[in-house]
Amino acid sequence: MKIVILDSTTANPGDLSWDFLKKYGDLTVYDRTPPSMVPSRGRGADILIINKTVISRESIEQMPGVKLIALLATGYNVVDCEAAAAHGILVANIPSYSESAVAQQTFAFILEYANRVGIHADMVRSGAWTNCNDFSFTAAPLTELAGKTLGVIGFGRIGRRVARIAEGFDMNVLVNTAHPEKYAEYPYRFLPLDTLLPQCDFVSIHCPMTPATAKMVNADFLSKMKDGAFLVNNARGGEVDEAAVASALKSGKLGGMGADVLSTEPPMADNPLLSAPNVYITPHIAWAGRETRVRLMGILEQNIAAFINGAPQNIVNASC
């Protein structure tokens, strides 16, 4: 059994070990793989492990020996799953490993906006408090979360975790989801977007990327939001019309935004959000805590062991 990892660096920048895979076969690890080298590096592998390396139909046709593409991620849009199925290749993803981490990142954005810890800490470091005439000063408006309303769009594992955390801050929670009937046991109001958006002080996106959600957060969406509301996107960058959001931030329609994902990663220098006011952007790190990555690699091992034992799990292209 030959196992090849095409892009190990983001999941394991060096603080963890891939040695646990060696008991399943001969292991080759590449930090990164450019598109042109995917076929040559993957050729001869039985199991191909990837994170964000694109596996196209053309690459699949040049790697006839591959039997399993094992993702180091939940999303599988980087793989042509239909082509993989046509060539008898299974594609396994890693679901439900990062809900705690992504929910934590969501509230990192919300709390930064509410408490402005960063700007005040920077001012203290620069001497502003030392030179202040009073025992206390504020450099930006502060917000108490209790009593505020959070709109959660998408109610999978991450959306549900975010809603529970919001309850701990005594926030009101409104939910928009495609299938509210599945969640009758939850004590939240399930509303259509047109009704939800005008009521929310904070809106957090947690739905999967589909044709229906592509650029869902557009000018029309933003026009329905409460003036000065704060938007969080830790789902997929393609769900946001970045030019429309930048315009709303500049006009003050949006009070601020926190985003861990952008439409193109790394972003182009002219991405309008990079120069917009009151926006906090992090480089797709919500999933990258050590504990989360240990869990990720543990499920990867389970997927590989299950495949080798003839009972593959977490297969996303079985119906293709």
Task: Round to whole Å and give the CA distance between 252 and 228.
Answer: 6
Q: Which long-range contacts (CB under 8 A, 24 or more apart) does 289-296 make?
A: 289/101, 290/15, 290/16, 291/101, 292/97, 292/98, 292/100, 292/101, 293/11, 293/12, 293/16, 294/16, 295/97, 295/98, 296/11, 296/72, 296/94, 296/97, 296/98
Task: Round to whole Å and give the CA distance between 302 and 20.
Answer: 11
Task: Round to whole Å and give the CA distance between 53 and 84.
Answer: 15
Neighbours of 40 (CB within 10 A): 12
Three-state secondary-structure class, residue 14: coil
Active-site residues: which are they? 236, 265, 284
Task: Round to whole Å and give the CA distance between 253 and 264.
Answer: 24
Three-state secondary-structure class, residue 158: helix
The candidate with the shortest Cα–Cα distance to 206, out of 176, 243, 185, is 176
DSSP lists the bridge partners of residue 152 as: 175, 204
The candidate with the shortest Cα–Cα distance to 288, out of 58, 34, 12, 53, is 12
CB 238 within 8 A of CB 258: no
Neighbours of 126 (CB within 10 A): 10
